[in-house]
Amino acid sequence: MTTESDTVETWNTYGNHQLTRGLELPELDRWDWGIPGTGPGIEVLGDMAGLRVLDLGSGLGRHAAHLAARGADVTAVDASPAQHQRALARYPDTPGLHLVCADAVAHLRDADPYDLVYSVGSMPYLDPDRLLPVLANGLAPGGRLLFSALHTNSDGTGPSAELMPRPEILRLPGTTEDHPVNMWVLTPQLWEDLLVQHGLRMEAVTTIDSPKPDNHVSYRLYAARHLQRVPSPTLLRSGSRDELRNALTREWLADKPSRPWILFVADRSAALLSLCRIESERAWIKRMFASVSDYAEYRALIEYYTAEGAVLEARRRRVRNALVHGNPASFAIVDSVREYATFLSGSALNLGLGSYVEGTVPATALAKRTDEFNAMQAGQDAASHWRDQLAGSAATTTPPS
């Protein structure tokens, strides 16, 4: 088996061969994802104008230049100096195009988040366990990942359900000279499991087959989206506002609270939010507080928590497999499971939304609050329901004048 560094050298050989040939390929007139003239085109990327975009394994740079011409701010990364040199020679000063010769993992580790990361056939040359953790961090919340990957080679050998690389053949154009390259040719289910474990939700898998009946080559185009990050517990721990923190803590932990906890959150959300220590998590916490009084926001969070539940379950499975079967599990994944568990068990909002995280029937979780469940199923927000309950209780207990 060759290593990733050996694969870079193979692509250097390819790039130098193409430089020597001096063959000028035309600009793209159709966007392909692996097999010319087949499958979806550029339309799957949507509107690119103004987006920060990363091309992983950009090669000659034609795809990246095509997107830059459409108004995207594109960074094209390739680890091969020869391939990078080909791109520099072709696009020395293209507006909106930034050509970078670097290891993709190192680049993603240092770069600001991207709105879109795409790769035309190049991602399978990188170890998913090395790439996906930094790729997930390198995508902005809600950002998209689209990549095509070999599924079946020309000999008819299909994908593997194990996370192991295998040798494939790279033939130099215009020759019969073959070079082995290391590739992770994985089943769609394994790709989805890997993406979910790193906080990415699979949205679509498209089959791209060769139109020639005697050619077994087949690719898959994967489209995924980065989920909004669920924060760690960050409230009620602000050293600079002890008086407010203590007041909120006293009311929160009171033996005889003056109002239901959900109204405490609704009424004091601004004060609670002011104690958030981590600025990057403020927007998400604000949404959680808003969901108490805004039914539309509540429904939106249900969708996010459902997807996050799938992420948590996949990560839990991977950690279990590591412990039982000796499969590798990075510390980041273990730590992520611990972080999710801490948050979900400690948050008061877990009482209202926990069933969606766990994948259980909401009616079961809310069985002790049947009236609340019915009201929220009918479109009323939780805070309004409890205000009505308190108002009704007060009216019932008020003696006649």
User: What is the reported pLDDT for 370?
Assistant: 54
CA dist 37 and 215 (Å) reads 15
Report residue 246 as tokens: 């203590």
User: Is the pLDDT confidence value at 309 over 80?
Assistant: no
CB atoms within 10 A of CB 357: 22
User: Is the pLDDT confidence value at 229 over 50?
Assistant: no
- For residues 161-187, give the mean pLDDT: 89
Task: Give residue 352's pLDDT band: very low, low, confident or very high (50, 70, 90).
Answer: very low
Eight-state DSSP code of residue 175: S
- For residues 338-359, give the mean pLDDT: 49
Residue 233 CA: distances (Å) to CA of 184, 276, 396: 37, 9, 39
Report residue 230 as tokens: 């669920």
User: What is the reported pLDDT for 83?
Assistant: 94
pLDDT tens figures, 134-166: 998 899 988 999 999 999 998 999 999 999 999
Strand pairing class (166-171; 178-183): antiparallel
Task: Give residue 234's pLDDT band: very low, low, confident or very high (50, 70, 90).
Answer: very low
CA dist 40 and 48 (Å) reads 16
117: closest CA among 195, 217, 197?
A: 195
CB 302 within 8 A of CB 351: no
Task: Give residue 39's pLDDT band: very low, low, confident or very high (50, 70, 90).
Answer: confident
Fold classified for 4-226: Rossmann fold (3.40.50)
CA dist 350 and 312 (Å) reads 15
Counting beta carbons within 10 angstroms of the beta carbon of residue 222, is it exposed (0 to 12), middle (13 to 18) or buried (19 or more)? Answer: buried
> Which range, 3-7, 52-56, 132-136, 238-242, has the best average confidence (pLDDT)?
52-56
User: Is the pLDDT confidence value at 401 over 80?
Assistant: no
Angle (nearest 5°) at CA 41 between 213 and 219:
45
User: Is the pLDDT confidence value at 176 over 60?
Assistant: yes
User: Is the pLDDT confidence value at 20 over 70?
Assistant: yes
For the chain, what are the domain ranges?
4-226, 239-397
User: What is the reported pLDDT for 353?
Assistant: 55
CA dist 304 and 323 (Å) reads 29
User: Is the pLDDT confidence value at 250 over 90?
Assistant: no
pLDDT tens figures, 364-380: 554 555 577 677 778 88
Q: 26 vs 345, which has greater pLDDT?
A: 26
54: closest CA among 69, 67, 40?
A: 67
Report residue 104 as tokens: 């993709």
> Which region among 19-23, 316-320, 337-341, 368-372 has the lowest average model confidence (pLDDT)?
337-341
Q: 277 vs 70, which has greater pLDDT?
A: 70
Percent share of the chain, pLDDT over 70: 75
Q: How far is CA 397 from the centre of its chain?
A: 52
Q: What is the CA radius of gyration of the chain?
A: 26
User: What is the reported pLDDT for 284?
Assistant: 73
Q: How far is CA 210 from the centre of its chain?
A: 29
Quote the mean pLDDT of the chain.
Answer: 80
Amino acid at 141: P
Strand pairing class (218-226; 139-152): antiparallel
Percent share of the chain, pLDDT over 90: 37
User: Is the pLDDT confidence value at 182 over 80?
Assistant: yes
Q: 3 vs 342, which has greater pLDDT?
A: 3
User: What is the reported pLDDT for 177?
Assistant: 85
β-bridge mates for residue 169, sequence order: 180
Report residue 314 as tokens: 């996949």
- For residues 306-333, give the mean pLDDT: 64
CB atoms within 10 A of CB 167: 11
Task: Give residue 286's pLDDT band: very low, low, confident or very high (50, 70, 90).
Answer: confident
User: Is the pLDDT confidence value at 344 over 50?
Assistant: no
Q: 249 vs 378, which has greater pLDDT?
A: 378
pTM: 0.62
CB 144 within 8 A of CB 81: no
